[in-house]
């Protein structure tokens, strides 16, 4: 992603707003500090000039579409590869009609993990005065004027290292040179599966025990689009309010099962978590199960029904494979 792509996106957004083809464009704008971007809602051509596209454009903006599904507003939205799959999930689940959307795709080589970047630079985030992306490098200017450079590849977010859909699909316009796509791989999940049951239980319980039940993971997730969440219901009370290990286990496991076949591994849950819980480990396990059983990953298609809501004779039959 570079300045030319950013300019192209700005011009298209300005045109869409000026011609009243959309009522707003959801994208990114500079944050309050040089190392951050922020979600931005442009409603005029002038505001569209504030849109930015860079490896700091970390947010999956698709979650905001859930807040507009009961309106009649026409929405332009800028998406990366994983984000576009999130849009496909919402369309497939009939959460909003495609004719209300104008999807602007940007081919993506990955976004930066700020914690990795500051660690690589050996500085605190507040010590970074400016950031410039130049080819394969990140050039940071520190407070006081010192310049330091690291490779983008060394500071990519973990989710980007496992990404296999860099080029967004189902878009109305796409900008940027195509990035080689891959295929779903689950190296870390397979390593986890190699552990004993006791080791896995201990690992996940160490995560569950840190949960403070703030629901930041749910609120940041595009696939958590239920209008009434089971965790908010008090009558009946499915999950007690106590912030203890059994309740946390139930909450996080239920959420993971609800996301099976819908999680695109955008990592927003993990990025939003104030306790730094490795939620992707649990979600990737469910993603692998769905892929192994049904050759399906979230956002694979808009038209094809999702496996967990359909029945096909050729689907995997455990009894048949186990000889029962």
Write the DSSP assignment of 160-225 as a string of letters: HHT----S--S-SEEES----------HHHHHHHTS-HHHHHHHHHHHHTT-----HHHHH-TT--
Which tokens go with 174?
């796409």
What are the tens digits of pLDDT across the range 186-196? 999 999 999 99
Cβ-contact 292, 305 below 8 angstroms: no
pTM of this prediction? 0.90
What are the tens digits of pLDDT across the range 61-76? 999 999 999 999 999 9
Describe the chain by its helix, strand, coil percentages, rounded to 5.
Answer: 40, 15, 45
Pick the residue with more confidence: 30 or 232? 30
- Sign of dihedral through CA atoms 214, 219, 221, 227? positive
What are the tens digits of pLDDT across the range 210-267? 999 999 999 999 999 988 888 888 888 888 878 899 999 999 999 999 999 999 999 9
């Amino acid at each position: 992603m570079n300045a030319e792509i950013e300019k192209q996106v700005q011009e298209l957004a300005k045109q869409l707003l000026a011609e009243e083809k959309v009522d707003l464009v959801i994208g990114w704008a500079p944050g309050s500090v040089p190392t951050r971007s922020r979600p931005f809602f442009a409603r005029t051509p002038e505001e569209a000039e504030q849109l930015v596209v860079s490896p700091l454009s970390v947010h999956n903006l698709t979650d905001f579409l859930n807040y507009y599904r009961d309106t009649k507003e026409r929405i332009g939205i800028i998406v990366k590869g994983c984000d576009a799959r999130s849009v496909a999930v919402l369309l497939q689940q009939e959460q909003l009609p495609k004719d209300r959307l104008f999807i602007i795709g940007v081919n993506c080589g990955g976004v930066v993990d700020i914690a990795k970047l500051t660690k690589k630079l050996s500085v605190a985030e507040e010590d970074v005065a400016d950031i410039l992306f130049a080819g394969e490098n990140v050039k940071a200017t520190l407070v006081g004027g010192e310049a330091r450079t690291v490779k983008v590849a060394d500071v990519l977010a973990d989710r980007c290292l496992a990404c296999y859909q860099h080029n967004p699909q189902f878009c109305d316009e796409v900008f940027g040179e195509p990035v080689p796509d891959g295929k779903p791989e689950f190296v870390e999940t397979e390593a986890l599966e190699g552990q004993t049951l006791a080791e896995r239980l201990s690992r996940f319980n160490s995560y569950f025990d840190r949960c403070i039940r703030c629901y930041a993971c749910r609120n940041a997730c595009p696939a958590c689009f239920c209008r009434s969440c089971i965790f908010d219901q008090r009558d009946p009370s499915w999950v007690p309010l106590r912030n203890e290990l059994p309740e946390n286990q139930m909450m996080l496991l239920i959420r993971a099962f609800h996301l099976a076949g819908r999680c695109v591994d955008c990592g927003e849950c993990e990025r939003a978590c104030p306790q730094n819980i490795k939620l992707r480990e649990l979600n990737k396990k469910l993603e692998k199960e769905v892929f192994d059983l049904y050759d399906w990953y979230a956002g694979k298609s808009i038209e094809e029904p999702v496996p967990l809501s359909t029945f096909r004779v050729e689907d995997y039959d455990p009894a048949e494979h186990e000889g029962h």
